[in-house]
Structure 1
Amino acid sequence: MERLALIGVSQRRGGVEALTQWSIWWQNHTPEVAALAAEWVPLLTCNRSEVVLALKEGVALEQARATLVPPQLPRGYAYQGEAALEHLARVAASLDSVNPGEDQIMRQVRLAFDAAQKAGSVGPLTSFAFQSALKIAKRVRREVELAPAQTSLFSLARPALEALLPRPSRVAVVGTGEMGSLAARSLAALPGIELLLVNRTPEKALALAEALGARAMSLSDFLKNPPPLEALVAATPVEGLFDQTFFQGQPQLKVAVDLGMPRNIVPEAARGVVLFDLNLLERLGEERRARLRAELARAELIVAQELEQALVEWAERAIAPAITQMREAYRRTLAELVGERVEPELIERLAHRFAHFPVKGLRGLARRHGPEAAEYFLQEAGLLEVGRG
């Protein structure tokens, strides 16, 4: 478990500027992780840029961070062992999100794991870490009411946006990826809203528009001739997509929500418009976090309970080969002592019976001091071949 590491930065833990720098770096560079890690899973979303690693023997956490994070980037955070697993579990359970309880994060974690599996960079340790984190997240979501379904980052802005907009109003959602689609579905539920969905690939916008009773438009057509709007929601990966020229042509625009990473809206250009950028959304998220203090405490308790159980499971899994060898040593010894006088099936049962109490002790030793301590005990007792287990 000590080989498990997590290195990254998030909007909530590092701020928008740090996340922007990391996101741009990861989009344009392939980190040389193969020399450092036997397994790795990138977790890249609009709110975090992280990589989960199974470090190779002899590679220290700080060595990995120094290699993966160039000097011009913010240092971010780095966790190892149990701390790395705990952070991943809190991420999957949406406890580390800007908006606690947003349900798409668990899906993003699962998709990141699936993508790494297809790429062939997953192994036993990262597989165990992600499966455990997702299991913990499911229990948190099942037992603690942090947020209703379809809660997203946009949910933080929706109440104010709804109050500010006249009826009827035309609202454009630019970008129909996961974040934009959640915003569109939320807006479609509001009365008096004419919804326009804009995407670089118009077919994707059209499919969602048909489901929501909205209109669709290509991004190129929208930028050339945008219709009059009362509100704009931007959720694309394009920096500075909406500048002063765009806002000067929108005298009726009252509210803009920038969900993009990097920033889609040039802040200085949006004067006279109520702008919900990531910094403001983060403050609203912290206010909501304060109101959820009791529920979050219950969720953290579940994470702690499940994490302890996961570590027990990993320790037992890690020493399973050593236990098998110990039972085999008992079987060989019994066979040598009794020879052909006893049936092989009885020898097998006796070997398991004699190993029962030592196995219980070994599991306790592994839980308290790690699987290495249990293997060392077996080696010293002559019950485990060095280099195996």
Structure 2
Amino acid sequence: MERLALIGVSQRRGGVEALTLWSTWWQNHAPAISTLAEEWVPILTCNRCEVVLALKEGLSLEQVRQALIPPQLPRGYAYLGEAALEHLARVAASLDSVNPGEDQIMRQVRQAFEAAQSAGSVGPLTHFAFQSALRIAKRVRREVELAPAQTSLFSLARPALEALLPRPARVAVVGTGKMGSLAARSLAALPGIELWLVNRTPEKAQALAGSLGARFMPLADFLEQPPQLDALVAATPVEGLLDARFFQKQAQLRVAVDLGMPRNILPEATKGVALFDLNLLERLGEERRMRLRADLAKAELIVAEELEQVMVEWAERAIAPAITQMREAYRRTLRELVGQRIEPELLEQLAHRFAHFPLKGLRGLARQHGPEAAEVFLRESGLLEVGHV
């Protein structure tokens, strides 16, 4: 567990600009992680850029951090061992999200893990870490109602957007990826909304539009001749997609929501339009976090309880080979003492009985001081072969 590391930056923990720099660099200059880690799982979403690693022997967290992240980027954060696992669990449980409780983050963590599995970069340590984090997240979601289903970053802007809209109103969602699709589904539930979905490629967007009773428009046509809108939601990876020229064509536009990373909407282009960008959404998220203090405290307690149990599981797993050798040492000693005078079944029972109390002590030693301490005890007692790992 001491080789588990997590390095990254998130919108909430680093700000939009830092996240934009990290994400852009990571996408364009994929680092040679294989020279630094035996296992790795990147988590790349619109709100975070992180990588979970099993460090190679002899490399420190700071060495890997400096090798992975060039000095011109914001420093970000880095965790090692139990702290890395705790952060991963809090991310999966959506406790570290801009909008606490949004349910898509657990899916994103699982999808990142599955993608790394397919790429062959998952090993025993990262597998244990992700399975444990997702199990913790499921318990948090089951026992603490932080947010209703389908809560997303857009949910922070929806109340204000709804209050600003006339009825009927024409609203466009530009980009129908995960963020855009969630926004579209949320808007489609409002009465009196004529919903337009806009995307560069038509297939998925047209299918979503059909399921929501919305209209579809190709991105190129939308940018050239957009319909007159009352509200706009942008959720694409294209910086500055909607500029002053676009907004000059929108005489009745009242509100725009920019969920894009990097910014889809240039703030200086939106004169007279209420703009909800990621910075404003982050402030709204912190206000909601304050209102959820009691529920968040319950969730954090669950994470702490589960993490303690996970560390016990890891310690016992780590010393399992040593325990096997200890039992074999008892069997060998008993055979030397009694030879063929007792039945093999009885000899096995005696070996387990003699090993019972030392094993309880070993597990406690591993929990308190790590599996290495338990192995030192066994080695010094002559119950573990020299060189055993």
**TM-score (structure 2 length as normaliser):** 0.99
CA distance in 2, matches of 1:315, 1:272: 60
Deviation at 1:348, TM superposition (A): 1.5
Identify the residue that residue 196 of structure 2 maps to in structure 1: 196
Identify the residue that residue 57 of structure 1 maps to in structure 2: 57
Segments of 4+ moved more than 4 angstroms:
none
1:12-27 matches, cutoff 5 A: 12-27=12-27
CA distance in 1, matches of 2:223, 2:216: 13
Identify the residue that residue 316 of structure 1 maps to in structure 2: 316
Identify the residue that residue 176 of structure 1 maps to in structure 2: 176
Identify the residue that residue 325 of structure 1 maps to in structure 2: 325
Secondary structure of the 2:239 match is coil
Identify the residue that residue 355 of structure 2 maps to in structure 1: 355
CA distance in 2, matches of 1:38, 1:375: 23
Deviation at 1:245, TM superposition (A): 0.5
Secondary structure of the 1:173 match is strand
CA distance in 1, matches of 2:57, 2:342: 45
CA distance in 2, matches of 1:110, 1:336: 52
Identify the residue that residue 217 of structure 1 maps to in structure 2: 217
Deviation at 1:36, TM superposition (A): 1.0
Q: Is the 8 A contact 1:202 1:219 kept in 2?
A: no
CA distance in 2, matches of 1:387, 1:189: 64
What's the CA shift string for 1:264-289, capped at 9, x where partnerless?
11111111100000000000000000
Q: What is the letter of the counterpart of residue 204 of structure 1?
A: K
CA distance in 1, matches of 2:272, 2:23: 30
Q: CA RMSD in A?
A: 0.7
Identify the residue that residue 338 of structure 1 maps to in structure 2: 338
Is there any run of 5+ residues in structure 1 with no aligned partner, and where? none
Identify the residue that residue 5 of structure 1 maps to in structure 2: 5
Matched, 1:167 2:172: no
Identify the residue that residue 119 of structure 1 maps to in structure 2: 119
Q: What is the letter of the counterpart of residue 333 of structure 1?
A: T
Deviation at 1:367, TM superposition (A): 0.2
CA distance in 1, matches of 2:13, 2:115: 25
Secondary structure of the 1:342 match is coil
Q: What is the letter of the counterpart of residue 221 of structure 2?
A: D
Identify the residue that residue 104 of structure 1 maps to in structure 2: 104
Secondary structure of the 2:256 match is strand
Deviation at 1:386, TM superposition (A): 2.3
Deviation at 1:387, TM superposition (A): 2.4
Matched, 1:386 2:353: no
Deviation at 1:224, TM superposition (A): 2.0
CA distance in 1, matches of 2:309, 2:317: 12
CA distance in 1, matches of 2:339, 2:197: 80
Deviation at 1:388, TM superposition (A): 2.0
CA distance in 2, matches of 1:7, 1:367: 25
Is there any run of 5+ residues in structure 2 with no aligned partner, and where? none
Q: What is the letter of the counterpart of residue 208 of structure 1?
A: L
CA distance in 2, matches of 1:283, 1:164: 19
Matched, 1:232 2:263: no
What's the CA shift string for 1:77-135, capped at 9, x where partnerless?
00001110010000000000000000000000000000000000001111111111101
Q: What is the letter of the counterpart of residue 341 of structure 1?
A: R
Q: How many residues align?
A: 389
CA distance in 2, matches of 1:135, 1:328: 34
Q: What is the letter of the counterpart of residue 150 of structure 2?
A: Q
Identify the residue that residue 281 of structure 1 maps to in structure 2: 281
Q: What is the letter of the counterpart of residue 164 of structure 1?
A: L
CA distance in 1, matches of 2:27, 2:20: 11
**TM-score (structure 1 length as normaliser):** 0.99
Secondary structure of the 2:339 match is helix
Matched, 1:372 2:377: no
CA distance in 2, matches of 1:249, 1:386: 77
Deviation at 1:145, TM superposition (A): 1.0
What's the CA shift string for 1:198-237, capped at 9, x where partnerless?
1111111111111111111221221122111111100011
